[in-house]
Structure 1
């Protein structure tokens, strides 16, 4: 009996030890990307600002386009009634409004008297409806024009905000020797991901690190998990760690993933061959789906992509992990 108990106890201890080792391995498996807190904060501020300005600019342009349609429809409606309005105006100018008393007194019979009363009522209603509809169409067109002017001012504001955030990003990257225009990684054949949920106005909802991370013992935001799952569904299934404890950046907030170009690990040397090709495709995938998934920025092979800037050079301080030549880093809004 004691021997059986001893064997079971040994089995349990082995399982517990294995679990602890696995947890430790996952927790420590994230690549060392360097920890420049100032740079990370600057990039986050610049990328978020660019994404917000772009979203608001697109929304404003969409509203302006809808208002242009409203103006055209209202003007067309007013144009269609101009003939009838002119007729009413001409009659009123030439004859004045018909004298109700004279029309009724000239009636030669009770039936004609009643008929003329009905005609007077119908004429008054018709004239009133035409003029009311005409004025309403003109007012609608004018209100839409005013609203368009407001949208133009909003667009000017967002273009200025986008320009400011682009300059912030350039200064941040220049401080570490990067920021030059780069060739980047773009592919027209990249699959389209399923869009992540947005607010009714098109903005991204605020999210916290509330969902268990399948790649670590940490947590993710719903949007980050969605991006990770979409990438896997589209064939990008190589070794990945999302949440990890850092002193800065999006990883400890559950808003970033480090997706290795290698099948099983983060190599200590730059990717080559199939690994390099995989990383190129993965980086291009996140760029193509940035607006669908809520991507804040992507880093791969000494280059960084931001929403309003495109691909720029990126200089990490260290080996392959810091230079992001062994994994694709994606940060989420």
Structure 2
């Protein structure tokens, strides 16, 4: 009886064994990577530093543009004032020589009514010309004075933003140092990286606020429009290996739809340090995001134990653990 039961059960047991083999042997190519290294505090500090730097840089650039326009206005006003100075001196000199009574006498001494009217008309025309010249001169001087004051204010604004940028850089350096990293690193750059299509900005050059509102093409979650643009631009540039963006985590940008992990290996997130062509792929992808940081709104890039963010450059990043934590099997991208 037992032998008969075993014979009947053999096909089912064989199928179960085959399934177990497949589950054990199948690569975790498209599984979510292990939790990435770094603490919640570190990520919050890096986010604050990056956002603060980018905002201050945008204000600095805007101030410099305003200053250039003000300098042009100042130069034009000064040139106009100089061109009118001769006319103003002439008016002042004539007024000093003739005075009110000399003008009246000039009219009263007219021999005929026609001569009187002719002199009166000329005096009226001269008065109008003199008044217009004096008004234009005063306007030019006023414009020059306002432009000078405005330029002084812009210089103060620029000094303020430079101070903010320096403070944010120090914040990022201190956060990385506290986590065991922060040393200046060689980084990943390439002059041959293609240019990405810029993400939309506000009219003043700042980044619009975005939330997780569009479907994530890599998962069933959502991402921001700016991250979607970065993902699409990377694929258009040839970086088409497996990518995972949205994921439920306790902190970081992934649950906010503002981060993607780009696998270095063709098979996905392999539990080994990338080497050879896979590492070259990661190097090129990291360099691509850095070159296009201002176009895509990059907050930071992490790859192979290094991190890049605006105003800081490439620094050592000491995530502890396996390849996912040390970012040696995938490139991490966080978007503002």
TM-score interval (norm. to shorter)? 0.7 to 0.9
Structure 1 unaligned blocks of 5 or more: 1-24
3-state secondary structure, aligned to 2:180: coil
Aligned to 1:136: 139
96-105 vs 156-165, greater mean Cα deviation: 96-105
What CA distance in whole angstroms lies between the structure 2 residues aligned with 1:260 and 1:27?
Answer: 9
3-state secondary structure, aligned to 1:181: coil
| Aligned residues of 1:35 and 1:247 also touching (Cα < 8 A) | no
The reply to whether residue 293 of structure 1 matches residue 296 of structure 2 is: yes
Aligned to 2:254: 251
1:315 CA drift (Å):
0.7
What CA distance in whole angstroms lies between the structure 2 residues aligned with 1:262 and 1:26?
Answer: 9
TM-score scaled by structure 2?
0.87
Aligned to 1:278: 281
The reply to whether residue 196 of structure 1 matches residue 204 of structure 2 is: no
Per-residue CA shift, 1:197-231, capped at 9, x if unaligned? 11111111111100001011111111111111111
Change (3 A) 1:97 1:242: farther
1:252 CA drift (Å):
0.5
Q: Could you tell me which of 214, 226, 250 is aligned with 1:223?
A: 226
Q: Could you tell me which of 312, 315, 318 is aligned with 1:315?
A: 318
233-242 vs 202-211, greater mean Cα deviation: 233-242
Change (3 A) 1:27 1:135: farther
What CA distance in whole angstroms lies between the structure 1 residues aligned with 2:166 and 2:126?
Answer: 60
3-state secondary structure, aligned to 1:321: coil
Structure whose alpha-carbon radius of gyration is higher: 2
1:32 CA drift (Å):
2.8
TM-score scaled by structure 1?
0.88
1:112 CA drift (Å):
2.8
What CA distance in whole angstroms lies between the structure 1 residues aligned with 2:38 and 2:177?
Answer: 17
Change (3 A) 1:231 1:97: farther
What CA distance in whole angstroms lies between the structure 1 residues aligned with 2:111 and 2:183?
Answer: 95
Per-residue CA shift, 1:76-130, capped at 9, x if unaligned? 1111212212222222223335744333323333333332232122111111111
Q: What's the Cα RMSD here?
A: 1.8
Change (3 A) 1:34 1:114: same
What CA distance in whole angstroms lies between the structure 2 residues aligned with 1:97 and 1:241?
Answer: 88
What CA distance in whole angstroms lies between the structure 1 residues aligned with 2:87 and 2:168?
Answer: 55
1:304 CA drift (Å):
0.7
Change (3 A) 1:241 1:83: same
The reply to whether residue 170 of structure 1 matches residue 184 of structure 2 is: no
What CA distance in whole angstroms lies between the structure 1 residues aligned with 2:103 and 2:89?
Answer: 22
The reply to whether residue 114 of structure 1 matches residue 129 of structure 2 is: no
1:26 CA drift (Å):
9.7
Aligned to 2:21: none
